[in-house]
Amino acid sequence: MPLSVKVLNILSGKRAAILNRLDAESLGINVYDRIKIIHENKTTTALVEISEEPELVPKGQIGLYKEIATELGALNGEIVYVEVAKTPQSVTYIRKKLRGEKLSSEEISSIVQDTVALNLNELEIAAFLLAQDFYGMNMDEIEALAKSMLKTGDVLDLPGKAVDKHSIGGVPGNKVSLLIVPIIASTGLLIPKTSSKAITSPSGTTDTMSVLANVEFSIEELRKIVLKVGGAIVWGGALNLAPADDIFIRVEYPLKIDPRPQMLASIMSKKAAEGISYLVIDLPTGRGAKVQTREEAFSLAQDFVELGKRMGINVKCGVTYGGQPIGKAIGPALEAKEALSALERPEEASKSLVEKSVSLAGLILEMTGYAFKGEGSKLAMEILRSGKALKKFREIIEHQGGNPNVKTEDIPIGRYKYEVLAESDGYVTLVDNTVINAIGRAAGAPLEKGAGIMIYAKQGYKVEKGQVLMEIYAERSTKLQEAISICNSSRPIVVEGMLLSTYPEF
Binding site for a copy of itself (CB under 8 A): 8-11, 13, 18, 21, 25-26, 28, 30-33, 49-53, 55-56, 66, 95, 98, 121-124, 126-127, 130-131, 133-135, 250-251, 253-257, 441, 444, 447
Distance (Å, rounded) from C-alpha 497 to C-alpha 252? 41
Nearer to a copy of itself, 251 or 267 (CB): 251
Nearer to a copy of itself, 271 or 449 (CB): 449
Task: Work out how close the CB of 54 gets to a copy of itself at its nearest, in angstroms, rounded to a whole number.
Answer: 8
Task: Work out how close the CB of 183 gets to a copy of itself at its nearest, in angstroms, rounded to a whole number.
Answer: 33
- What is the separation, in whole angstroms, between the first and last Cα of the chain? 68
Nearer to a copy of itself, 68 or 180 (CB): 68
Is residue 483 a contact partner of residue 472, using CB atoms and an 8 Å limit? yes
Q: How many other CB atoms are found less than 10 A from the CB of residue 362?
A: 24
Please report the DSSP string for 180-229 in residue order. Answer: HHHHHHTTT--EEEEE---SSSS--HHHHHTTTS-----HHHHHHHHHHH
Of the candidates 258, 282, 303, 432, the residue annotated as catalytic is 258
Nearer to a copy of itself, 55 or 347 (CB): 55
Q: Is residue 258 annotated as a catalytic residue, yes or no?
A: yes
Residue type present at position 189: L
Which DSSP category does 85 fall into? P
Give the count of alpha carbons within 13 A of 315, CB side only: 26
Distance (Å, rounded) from C-alpha 179 to C-alpha 389? 7
Residue 430 φ/ψ region, left for φ over 0, alpha for ψ in the -120 to 50 degree band, beta for the rest:
beta
Nearer to a copy of itself, 52 or 375 (CB): 52
Distance (Å, rounded) from C-alpha 36 to C-alpha 175? 48
Q: Which residues are catalytic?
A: 258
